[in-house]
């Protein structure tokens, strides 16, 4: 069996699962696959349940409209038997129509939503595709290649096991007119040999990382990274303070300058992480794969597009996709920079130009390796319109597994299937 380099992420470890509620408001379109052709009508079925039984005489307020857009239909009605079917109308252009239902019981509000897709395979992106996109990133990678790796590994004895050594890693990375550092936790099997490797690229936020010892104990080198150029083994309070202070809103830092935008260092840092794993004597670097969720899903697609050493990718609900959707009357991707209160100071020509060099749409166009993708129609953080805008452009072999009722979270089965697909591919 060939040994391969695996870059891997388990998004369920990073994103909170939905909390159980005493009362459940369940909303679903009237087709099992939640998918319609443009012009076809949809009915939304609303169920209000407590202890698995219908709640009689509940007052339900529902709103229907294109996802993330103002509602086009709103009504409050009483439902005698806990279930209500409402006419959702249709869409004449490809996209997603959402029904959000809320119920007030005993002083608490309970909420549920269901989303119907209309010709999602025909959704096209709104973001510009710059003529010099490839040249811009080729120049960035050339700058990175001139910077020595300067890998510094510090053993963490308190984290080591009888079969795995754990290190805090500090690498040299690109920075505008300078260099920066990339930090992560490396777990390496102690037994001699060449092993697959696993890079965990992070979802959004600022947090410490503990490393993935479990997979290392099964014979996989794992490397769990942060993206903010700070050590990943500090007291959790440090990251909480940074989240509320110096790194609050990092997604928008220097957005008016394509050379200095925050994610340039991040994207090149993913390539640097591949450099590091490929340099390890314990790693077989003949093949590589990358995967992640949310911001990590975006980084997975970006890394596969930037680095020809990547051979497979798996992405859960990728963020940073078609973010200009809001400027064109529809949902845009996280971080929703062109909507709400931020629109007045974000809707500037230079910022719109910069995002075109970083939007996942324009990396998706350049993906050349087989990929597996997974998300749900109810995602309010990474709207499905934005994700399909990228997915539909990918020219390489691809598979999308839908878990329709999921929001910005994963079922265990979802992660298991993605993992199984990657391992099947990588062990051939």
CA quadruple 124, 130, 133, 136: dihedral positive or negative? negative
> What distance in Å separates the CA atoms of residue 212 and residue 427, rounded to the nearest whole number?
20
Q: Which two tokens mark 32?
A: 């099992």
Cα–Cα dist 397/409, whole Å: 25
Report the Cα 65 to chain-centroid distance in Å: 24
From the candidates 379, 386, 390, 404, give the one annotated as an active-site residue: 379
Cβ–Cβ < 8 Å for 174, 144: yes
Rounded (10°) CA dihedral 118, 401, 113, 346: -80
Question: How far apart are the C-alpha atoms of 366 and 313, rounded to whole Å?
Answer: 13
Distance CA 47, CA 6 (A): 43
| Length of the chain, in residues | 428
Token pair for 212: 């993935």
Per the annotation, the verdict on 408 as an active-site residue is: yes
Catalytic status, residue 279: no
Query: Pairing relation of β-strands 310-316 and 288-293?
Result: parallel
- DSSP letters for 279-332: H-TTB--S-EEEEEETHHHHHHHHHHHH-TTEEEEEEES--SSSGGGGGGTS--
CA 243, CA 26: separation in Å to the nearest integer?
A: 34
Q: How many helices (H) and strands (E) does the chain have?
A: 10, 19
Cα Dmax for the chain: 70
* CA–CA distance, 247 with 21 (Å, rounded to integer): 33
Q: What is d(CA 325, CA 321) in angstroms, rounded to the nearest whole number?
A: 9
Q: Which residues pair with 313 in a beta bridge?
A: 290, 371
The catalytic residue among 294, 300, 386, 390 is 294
> Could you confirm whether 228 is annotated as catalytic?
no
Residues annotated as catalytic are 294, 379, 408
């Amino acid at each position: 069996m060939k040994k391969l380099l695996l870059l891997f992420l388990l998004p369920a470890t990073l994103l909170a699962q939905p909390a159980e509620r005493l009362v459940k408001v369940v909303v679903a379109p009237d087709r099992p696959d939640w998918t319609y052709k443009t012009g076809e009508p949809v009915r939304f079925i609303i169920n209000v349940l407590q202890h698995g039984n219908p709640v009689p005489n509940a007052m339900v307020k529902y709103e229907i409209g294109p996802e993330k857009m103002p509602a086009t239909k709103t009504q409050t009605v009483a439902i005698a038997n806990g279930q209500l079917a409402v006419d959702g109308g249709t869409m004449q252009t490809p996209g997603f129509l959402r029904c959000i239902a809320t119920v007030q019981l005993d002083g608490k509000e309970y909420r549920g939503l269901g989303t119907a897709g209309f010709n999602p395979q025909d959704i096209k992106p709104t973001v510009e595709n710059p003529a010099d996109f490839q040249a811009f990133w080729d120049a960035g990678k050339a700058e990175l290649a001139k910077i020595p790796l300067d890998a510094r590994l510090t053993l963490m004895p308190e984290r080591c096991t009888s079969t795995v050594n754990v290190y805090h890693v500090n690498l040299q990375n690109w920075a505008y007119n300078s260099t920066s550092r990339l930090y992560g936790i490396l777990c390496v099997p102690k037994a001699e040999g060449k092993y697959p490797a696993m890079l965990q690229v992070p979802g959004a936020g600022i947090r410490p990382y503990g490393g993935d010892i479990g997979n290392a104990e099964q014979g996989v080198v794992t490397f769990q990274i942060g993206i903010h150029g700070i050590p990943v083994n500090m007291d959790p309070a440090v990251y909480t303070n940074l989240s509320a202070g110096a790194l609050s809103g990092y997604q928008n830092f220097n957005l008016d300058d394509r050379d200095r935008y925050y994610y340039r260092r991040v994207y090149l840092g993913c390539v640097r992480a591949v450099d590091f794993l490929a340099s390890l004597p314990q790693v077989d670097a003949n093949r590589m794969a990358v995967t992640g969720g949310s911001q990590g899903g975006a980084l997975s697609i970006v890394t596969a597009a930037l680095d020809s050493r990547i051979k497979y990718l798996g992405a859960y609900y990728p963020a940073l996709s078609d973010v200009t959707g809001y400027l064109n009357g529809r949902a845009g991707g996280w971080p929703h920079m062109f909507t709400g209160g931020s629109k007045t100071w974000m809707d500037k020509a230079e910022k719109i130009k910069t995002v075109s060099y970083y939007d996942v749409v324009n990396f998706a166009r350049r993906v050349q390796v087989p990929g597996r993708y997974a998300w749900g129609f109810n995602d309010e953080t990474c709207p499905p319109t934005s994700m399909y805008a990228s997915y539909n452009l990918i020219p390489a072999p691809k598979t999308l597994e839908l878990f329709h009722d999921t929001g910005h979270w994963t079922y265990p089965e979802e992660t298991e299937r993605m993992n199984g697909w990657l391992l099947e591919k990588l062990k051939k």
